[in-house]
Amino acid sequence: MVYTEFVSADALIRNVKRTEQKLGISDKERPVAIQIYGREVDAVVEAARITQEANPDIIDLNFGCPVKKVAGKGAGAGLLRDIPKMLEITREVVKAVKLPVTVKTRLGWDDNSKIITTLAEQLQDCGIEALAIHGRTRSQMYKGEADWTLIGEVKNNSRIHIPIIGNGDVTTPERAKTCFDQYGVDAVMVGRASIGKPWVFSEMKQYLNYGYVKDILTFDEQKAILKQQVLDAVEWLDDERKGILHSRRHLAATPAFKCIPHFKDTRIAMLRTEKLHELFSIIDHIPQPEQEQLYE
């Protein structure tokens, strides 16, 4: 299943057009969760009601975003410093909507407050139907390694009966399988590993089903998928320039172009152009890297 980019509750209730656009989902994406965040109970509840009208399968509450402009204002992971308010928001949203409500959060605010084992039970008592846990504290941001030990403790707590979704450093098919086998989670959530590599989900599914990646994409197939991402963004935003800008992060991060000698100038040209025909011409002329480096 997929989650939308998270949506600001405050912006949603103020009818900010760019924020409302994030509620647009396609039936091809289902099952899909729309994720919202905020710091005030009334605002998040109203935003949840608005979100319900977009007809997602799930409404997800983000209590895990660590960035300063979110957590520093008391939303996202900032609510790990105000657990009573986090629980109040959760209870009130569950009561206000008919859709399943889920939560994503972190282990705690810092190393001295890893409260997730207790917090998981409290959130479950609020009526959520699944919990996603990122294996870092807010203070860690995205540094260091994700600690899955506590995620496993939550999953193996006999008092927990809702699905537990593990998140953090799930970057390869092998790692995804290890997380299922070693920690017993019901699902794994993949975020940054998909940036520039949307086929990672197919690889993981194949590895879980067959024990190996059955259909390895060729370099040309990888380039075709990246080009399709750009086209989809252009169509979604109904603007060539904005669609390309929206896709640049994926083009810059893709492992498909790593290990290509003397690639710096090509990357700069690729990220500067604002015309589809120019961008696709650059991508089409990127030479295939050495075979042994292609799938690292």
> What residues are annotated to the active site?
65
Q: Which residues pair with 165 in a beta bridge?
A: 132, 187
32-37 and 101-106 strand pairing: unpaired
For residue 270, with 0-12 CB atoms within 10 Å meaning exposed, 13-18 middle and 19 or more buried, which class applies?
buried
Side chain identity, residue 252: A
Q: SS3 for 46-76, per residue? A: HHHHHHHHCCCCEEEEEECCCCHHHHCCCCH
Given a contact cutoff of 8 angstroms between Cβ atoms, the answer to whether 235 and 243 are in contact is yes
For residue 160, with 0-12 CB atoms within 10 Å meaning exposed, 13-18 middle and 19 or more buried, which class applies?
middle
Structure tokens at 242: 């904005």
Q: How far is CA 163 from the centre of its chain?
A: 17
Please give the DSSP secondary-structure letter assigned to residue 230.
H
CA–CA gap between residue 189 and residue 151 (Å, rounded): 12
CA–CA gap between residue 198 and residue 196 (Å, rounded): 6
Side chain identity, residue 91: R
CA–CA gap between residue 250 and residue 275 (Å, rounded): 17
